[in-house]
Amino acid sequence: MNTTKYIFVTGGVSSSLGKGIIAASLAKLLQARGYRVTIQKLDPYINVDPGTLNPYEHGECYVTDDGAETDLDLGHYERFLNVATSQANNVTTGRIYQSVIEKERRGEFLGKTVQVIPHITNEIKERVQLLGDTGDYDIVITEIGGTVGDIESLPYIESVRQMKWELGDDNVLVIHLTLIPYLKAAGELKTKPTQHSVKTLMESGIKADILVCRTEHHLSLDLRKKLALFCNVQEEAVIESIDASTIYDVPNLMLKEGLDMITLKKLNLSDSTPPDLEQWNKFLKRHKNSKNEVHIALIGKYVELQDSYKSILESFIHAGAENEVKVKVTSIHSEYIDKNNVAEKLSGLHGVLVAPGFGERGIEGKIEAVRYARENNLPYLGICLGMQMAVIEYARNILGLEEANSSEMNPDTPHPVIDLMNEQKNITNKGGTMRLGSWKCELKKDSITEKVYNAKTIEERHRHRYEYNDQYREQLEEAGLIATGINPDTGLVEIVEIPSHPWFVGVQYHPEYKSTVANPHPLFVSFVKAAYKHSENK
C-alpha cells in the first residue's frame, strides 16, 4: 500500500514571496525529524523546460544529475536537503501538453475528445504521484508556480482539488503562502489581500489547511485570530514568515512557528522525534559569525539580476562558512571591462570568477579579466564559459595566436581553440540538445583539483555545447596550461590549470550545482581559501 503523503504549496497576493524557500524549509524540518522528503516544482509556463529561457526571465537554469534543465528552486531544494533531484522534480505546462499530445497521436485516448479535464489534470496528477510511487519518499512537497487566480495555474489547482478528494485530508495538505502588507500611512498590517486570495482558492474548491504569511512586522495574536476566522483555518495553522536576513534562517523560523508540527498533525504523522538541526545550526553560526572578509569578483553579463548566478552565490556562502570567512561578492558586468580599466575594476579584490554564459556579448571583457588574474597571481576560477575564456586568453597572449577564439563567438576564427564536436554540428534544435547532466572526469595526479577533491575520479554536471579543442592541447600544455581533468569516456578535456600560478583553475562543468549546506563544494572551498590567503599576503 502506498502511504506517501502529499503537500501542495500555493501562492497568493503576489509573486516572489519565496514559496521555494518555504517548501525547502518545511522539507528540511521534516527531514531533520527522520522523514524521507522530496520537493517538486510545477511551472505553469508553456516552455517545455527553462533551458531556452534567457536568465533575465526566470534567473538561472539549474541542471540535475540526469541532465534536466530545471527551475532554480530545485537548487534550493538540493542545497537545503542535500538530496539530488531529477527531471521528475520539475514539470512545466509545456511538458504536460507535449506528453498528452504525443499520447493522442499514438491513439492512446481511443477516439475520445482530449480535454483539460480529465486528460491534462490526469497527466499532472500522474507526474505528482510518480515521485510518491517510487517508494523512496514518505512525503512529497509540490510547489505550484505562479499565483492563485492566474489563468495558467488553473489546471494545477484543479488537480490539487482532485487529489485531495481522492486521497483524503489526511494524505493531502494545502499550504497557502500569502503576503500581509504593511500600510505605513495607517501604521497597520492588512489582511484583506489574503482574505481575497484564500477566497479565490476556495472558488476552485480548495480550502487552505495552513496559511503562511509573509510579513515585515510580527503578527499580533488578534491579527492571527482574525486571519484564522476570515480565512477558515485553525489559529495554530496561521504561520508567520517574517523577513529574514538570510534564507538559511527560515527553517529555524518555521520551527519556532510550529509549521512542521501542524503539518505532521494534519497528515496524521508522528511528531515524536524532535528535529536534529545540529549540522545546520553549526553552518549558520559560522556563516553569521565569521569576521574576516574576502572579496571576490563575479564577472558575467547577467549581473543586474542576482538570480542569474544563484547557485554560484550560494556556493560562496557555503564555502565562506567552511573557511569561516565572509565572502563578499562584487558583481562586474563583463561588457564594461577593457584593457585600460581592468586593473582599476579588479583592485582590492582577492579572487576572480568568470561565470558561465552564452554568446559573444561581453567576452572580450572576460578575457581581459582572465589575463589580469593570470598575470597578477590572483586566484582564478573559470566556470564553463569562464574555462573557455581562460583557454582563449592563453592561446592569444602566450601562444601568440591573436585571433584564437571559440567558434561560438567567431565561426571563422583561424584558431578555434574551443570548438563544436562532430555530434553537435548537425543539431538544429536549441532545447535540451547541449551536453547536459553528470559526466565522469579523471583527475591528473598532483594537480590542484586532485588535491582539492581528494579523489581520482569525480562526477560533475554539464551544460554546454562547445568543447576544448584537443588539437591545441600539446601547444597549450607546453606553454604551461595543463589539462588536468579528462572525461574517460570521450577523452574530452574538462579541467585546465596553470601549475606555476598560485590557484588558477578552469572547469568545463558547473561545480556550483552540487554545493549544499551539508556538503560545500570542495572547489569553492579551496578557491575561497586561496583568495583569503591572497588577501593576507597583500
Q: Which residues pair with 179 in a beta bridge?
A: 214
Site string for ligand GLN, 377-406 (x = CB under 6 A): -------xx---------------------
Nearest to 49 by CA among 62, 36, 39: 62
| Alpha-carbon 130 to chain mean position | 22
The Cα–Cα gap between 146 and 42 comes to 9
The verdict on 52 binding ligand GLN (CB under 6 A) reads no
Among this protein's residues, is 510 annotated catalytic? yes
- Distance of closest approach, residue 350 Cβ to ligand GLN, in angstroms: 23
Is the CB of 173 or the CB of 492 nearer to ligand GLN?
A: 492
Q: Which residues of 188-221 are buried (b: 16+ CB within 10 A; e: fewer)?
A: ebebeebbebbebbeebebebbbbbbbbeeebee
Is the CB of 15 or the CB of 471 nearer to ligand GLN?
A: 471
Q: Residue 329 contacts by C-beta under 8 Å, 6 or more apart in sequence?
A: 296, 297, 298, 313, 316
| Alpha-carbon 119 to chain mean position | 31
The Cα–Cα gap between 345 and 330 comes to 10
Q: Residue 162 contacts by C-beta under 8 Å, 6 or more apart in sequence?
A: 121, 125
Is the CB of 3 or the CB of 422 nearer to ligand GLN?
A: 422
The verdict on 408 binding ligand GLN (CB under 6 A) reads yes
Stretch that binds ligand GLN, among 51-59, 178-186, 344-352, 356-364 (CB under 6 A): 356-364
Q: How many CB atoms lie within 10 A of CB 104?
A: 13
CB 176 within 8 A of CB 214: no
Is the CB of 57 or the CB of 104 nearer to ligand GLN?
A: 57
Is the CB of 12 or the CB of 362 nearer to ligand GLN?
A: 362
Is the CB of 320 or the CB of 365 nearer to ligand GLN?
A: 365
- Distance of closest approach, residue 359 Cβ to ligand GLN, in angstroms: 7
Out of 61, 464, 512, 534, the active site residue is 512
- Distance of closest approach, residue 477 Cβ to ligand GLN, in angstroms: 21
- Distance of closest approach, residue 105 Cβ to ligand GLN, in angstroms: 32
The verdict on 357 binding ligand GLN (CB under 6 A) reads yes
Say whether the peptide bond before residue 50 is cis (omega within 30 degrees of 0): no
Q: Residue 520 contacts by C-beta under 8 Å, 6 or more apart in sequence?
A: 315, 318, 319, 321, 322
- Distance of closest approach, residue 386 Cβ to ligand GLN, in angstroms: 7
Out of 61, 213, 231, 384, the active site residue is 384
Site string for ligand GLN, 14-43 (x = CB under 6 A): ------------------------------
Is the CB of 191 or the CB of 388 nearer to ligand GLN?
A: 388
Pick one of 5, 95, 224, 463: the residue that binds ligand GLN (CB under 6 A).
Answer: 463
Is the CB of 158 or the CB of 512 nearer to ligand GLN?
A: 512
The verdict on 464 binding ligand GLN (CB under 6 A) reads yes
Pick one of 97, 109, 230, 358: the residue that binds ligand GLN (CB under 6 A).
Answer: 358
The Cα–Cα gap between 502 and 350 comes to 12
Is the CB of 238 or the CB of 496 nearer to ligand GLN?
A: 496
Q: Where are the alpha helices (DSSP H) in 17-120?
A: 19-32, 55-58, 73-81, 93-105
Pick one of 380, 466, 472, 532: the residue that binds ligand GLN (CB under 6 A).
Answer: 466
The verdict on 439 binding ligand GLN (CB under 6 A) reads no
The verdict on 356 binding ligand GLN (CB under 6 A) reads yes
In angstroms, how far apart are the furthest CA atoms of the chain? 75
Among this protein's residues, is 218 annotated catalytic? no
What type of residue is 415?
H
- Distance of closest approach, residue 74 Cβ to ligand GLN, in angstroms: 17
Stretch that binds ligand GLN, among 69-77, 276-284, 445-453, 457-465 (CB under 6 A): 457-465
The region that residue 480 occupies, defined by phi over 0 for left and psi between -120 and 50 for alpha, beta otherwise, is left
Contacting ligand GLN within 305-334 (CB under 6 A): none
Out of 176, 510, 521, 534, the active site residue is 510
How many residues touch ligand GLN (CB under 6 A)?
10
- Distance of closest approach, residue 25 Cβ to ligand GLN, in angstroms: 29
End-to-end CA distance of the chain: 64
Nearest to 94 by CA among 123, 66, 114: 123
- Distance of closest approach, residue 295 Cβ to ligand GLN, in angstroms: 23
The Cα–Cα gap between 181 and 20 comes to 20
The verdict on 496 binding ligand GLN (CB under 6 A) reads no
The Cα–Cα gap between 320 and 184 comes to 37
Q: Which residues are catalytic?
A: 384, 510, 512
Which parts of this chain interact with ligand GLN (CB under 6 A)? 356-358, 384-385, 408, 463-466
